């Protein structure tokens, strides 16, 4: 039954001009002034804070909102979304903050929690959620898997439009991660309305996987762009692995921010992931420091 509903949704997406979510997403055009950016803090390493305390601390740092973790292992568990997400939103609203993006476990309409999570979020005024990653099986045909993933995303896009919420797919480094190459996202999202599913372009991961060609990948995916994700990294000399660093101290090219200023308006999510075991207070200090760097790079201090 679930599969039949998915097929019906996909047909609805292809044939109807029903619900337009154009107001949910930014347009990739230049706009004057700092208000064109909606700054949010990814709260992964401070999610242990009680909702009211989290809201107060993030508001004190000057953000517009948060990228909340509403997922397995997150601050709000998917099975408790109806009980706990309203409490988080209420705490944020008291400090004029919002859930700018909801980092989720959602990527399949056939998961029994998908519709409940998305309807609850949309009902609370949350406009965007980040999808959980799709994966490649390197023992199977990549084109065949792209066909399967595209069908999966089309079903989800139709559900998003039906409910009134927009999905974001983040490019992420990794040999088996769908989206690490960027070109696959361009192919997968062809014909899917940007208002239903768009891309959260992560410059850290784009640089890890793309080296010097991140501007090419950015230009390729620009028509599908819905958010900017910001963090930095360097290469270790011993293991040749990518290691997260404070913003502005790694390999991410500052020219990226000059380019973003010229065309983008919408959510900018700051990810501080280089102190995973340092505790809440150290991570909050790092968020504050990197947020200052981010605003300087974007010229909005």
pLDDT of residue 70 exceeding 50: yes
Q: What is the pLDDT of residues 218-271, one digit of tens each?
A: 999 999 999 999 999 999 988 789 999 999 999 999 999 999 999 999 999 999
C-beta atoms surrounding 280 within 10 Å? 15
CA distances from 134 to 38, 95, 175, 286, 288 (A): 27, 35, 12, 30, 32
**Domain membership of residue 44 as a residue range:** 36-298
DSSP one-letter string for 270-291 = E---S-TTS-HHHHHHHHHHHH
Closest residue by Cα to residue 75 from 106, 54, 94 = 54
Residue 49 sits in a domain whose CATH number is: 3.20.20.150
Handedness of CA 108, 112, 115, 120 (dihedral sign): negative
Does residue 14 form part of some domain? Answer: no
pLDDT of residue 106 exceeding 70: yes
Helices 81-93, 51-60: crossing angle, 10 deg rounding: 40
Does residue 217 form part of some domain? Answer: yes
Q: Which tokens hold the place of 144?
A: 């065949």
C-beta atoms surrounding 191 within 10 Å? 10
Most confident of 33-37, 40-44, 237-241: 40-44
Q: What is the pTM of this model?
A: 0.90
Does residue 287 form part of some domain? Answer: yes
How many domains does the structure of the chain reveal? 1
Does residue 142 form part of some domain? Answer: yes
Does residue 266 form part of some domain? Answer: yes
Does residue 29 form part of some domain? Answer: no
pLDDT the model gives residue 33? 54
Q: What is the pLDDT of residues 130-189, one digit of tens each?
A: 999 999 999 999 999 999 999 999 999 999 999 999 999 999 999 999 999 999 999 999
Average pLDDT over the chain reads 91
Does residue 24 form part of some domain? Answer: no
pLDDT the model gives residue 240? 84
Does residue 28 form part of some domain? Answer: no
């Amino acid at each position: 039954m679930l599969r039949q509903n998915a097929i019906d949704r996909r047909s609805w997406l292809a044939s109807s001009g029903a619900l337009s979510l154009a107001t949910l997403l930014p347009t990739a055009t230049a706009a004057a002034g700092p208000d064109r950016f909606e700054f949010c803090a990814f709260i992964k390493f401070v999610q242990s804070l009680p909702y009211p305390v989290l809201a107060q601390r993030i508001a004190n740092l000057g953000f517009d909102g948060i990228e909340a973790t509403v997922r397995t292992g997150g601050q709000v568990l998917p099975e408790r979304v109806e009980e706990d997400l309203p409490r988080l939103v209420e705490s944020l609203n008291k400090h004029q903050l919002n859930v700018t993006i909801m980092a989720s476990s959602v990527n399949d309409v056939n998961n029994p929690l998908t519709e409940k999570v998305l309807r609850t979020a949309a009902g609370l005024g949350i406009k965007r959620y980040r999808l959980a990653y799709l994966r490649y099986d390197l023992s199977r045909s990549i084109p065949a898997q792209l066909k399967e993933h595209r069908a999966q995303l089309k079903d989800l896009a139709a559900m998003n439009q039906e409910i009134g919420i927009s999905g974001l797919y983040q490019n992420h480094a990794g040999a088996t991660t769908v989206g690490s190459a960027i070109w696959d996202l361009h192919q997968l999202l062809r014909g899917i309305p940007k208002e239903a599913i768009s891309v959260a372009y992560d410059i850290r991961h784009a640089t890890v996987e793309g080296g010097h060609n991140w501007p090419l990948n950015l230009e390729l995916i620009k028509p599908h762009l819905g958010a900017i994700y910001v963090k930095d990294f360097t290469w270790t000399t011993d293991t040749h692995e990518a290691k997260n660093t404070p913003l502005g101290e790694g390999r991410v090219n500052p020219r990226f921010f000059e380019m973003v200023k010229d065309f983008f308006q919408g959510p900018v999510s700051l990810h501080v992931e280089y102190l995973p075991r340092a505790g809440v207070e150290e991570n909050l200090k790092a968020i504050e420091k990197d947020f200052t760097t981010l605003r300087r790079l974007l010229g909005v201090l």
